[in-house]
Amino acid sequence: MAQASHGRNCDFGLQRPVSTGTRFDQEKGTEDAPSVREPASQRASRAVRTAMIRHLHILSAGLLVLSLSGAARAEDIPERKDFQVFQGVARQVQQYVNFTVFDSVNASVQDGVVTLTGKVTMPFKVQDLTRRVSRVEGVRKVDNKIQVLPVSRFDDELRLRIARAIYGNPSFWHYASMANPPIHIVVDQGRVKLEGTVNSHVERMLAQSLAIGFGEFSVENALKTDAERQVELEQID
């Protein structure tokens, strides 16, 4: 991850049929995305493979990363409860309409205390996320350490140009058509960081190559693959 005062249309230059429901940057309007037709069997397979991973890891997409004091096992009631709290936090962030591909939010949960970190493009998002997370059952306290990115026309243009390059590439059209595209583009004073989840290492490297050449000072690639996210999940099970 609109605020009425930021209702300008965001044009990523995607010249393909419109797929409804896609949200790139609702601060600047709703982005038209390419429509990708897949056989039903492939769509079902993709959904089964990624549903758990992308539900619990919202970076980017802005994906949330669970950080517990240890492995949450059934016999360990406090940690299992923290895991359940985290799931609620994940849902609250994922369903927040102003959470875009230009934001990054991480969460850790310990004994019911939720710590939020990351970077967002607008100050109101910090307060909104605090309120949403505080409503999750089992949350005792929210420690919000999310930073607000500085106002910069250069950064705004850089975000849009990189997003246009990545999501306008045919290899990423299937991501562009999602309600919550998984590749997040965090720009801070000309420094770019790619976060989120992709299917493969090839996609990870392609995204990085597409993010280069727009006048940025640096590009950090923090994207992870589905397989790497799955390993993280197995460590918490």
CB neighbourhood size of 41 (10 A):
8
Band of pLDDT at residue 195, cut at 50, 70 and 90: very high
Instruction: Give Rg (Cα) of the chain.
Output: 17
Q: For domain 40-148, which architecture applies?
A: 2-Layer Sandwich (3.30)
More confident site: 220 or 23:
220
Contacts with 125 (C-beta within 8 Å, 6 or more apart), sequence order = 96, 98, 99, 103, 146, 148
Q: Look at residue 32 and give its three-state secondary structure.
A: coil
How far is the C-alpha of 55 from the C-alpha of 52, rounded, in Å? 5
The CATH code belonging to domain 153-228 is 3.30.1340.30
Amino acid (one-letter) located at 232: E
Confidence (pLDDT) at 83: 87
Q: What is the mean pLDDT of residues 29-33?
A: 37
Band of pLDDT at residue 68, cut at 50, 70 and 90: very low
Name the pTM for this structure.
0.69
67 pLDDT above the threshold of 90: no
Confidence (pLDDT) at 21: 35
Q: Are the C-beta atoms of residues 164 and 12 closer than 8 Å to each other?
A: yes
Amino acid (one-letter) located at 227: A
Structure tokens at 150: 């500085």
Span 211-227, pLDDT tens digits = 999 999 999 999 999 99
Q: Are the C-beta atoms of residues 196 and 182 closer than 8 Å to each other?
A: yes
In the chain, where the domains are located: 40-148, 153-228
| Closest C-alpha among 112, 72, 7 to residue 235 | 72
Average pLDDT, the chain: 76
Q: What is the mean pLDDT of residues 78-94?
A: 86
Q: Which helix (H) or strand (E) holds 89?
A: helix 77-94
Span 110-166, pLDDT tens digits = 999 999 999 999 999 999 999 999 999 999 999 999 999 999 999 999 999 999 999
| Closest C-alpha among 235, 209, 186 to residue 63 | 186
Band of pLDDT at residue 230, cut at 50, 70 and 90: confident
More confident site: 191 or 14:
191
Band of pLDDT at residue 107, cut at 50, 70 and 90: very high
Lowest mean pLDDT among 53-62, 132-141, 193-202, 208-217: 53-62
CB neighbourhood size of 202 (10 A):
11
Strand pairing category for 104-110 and 113-120: antiparallel
**C-alpha pair distances (Å), 18 with each of 173, 177, 228:** 11, 9, 32
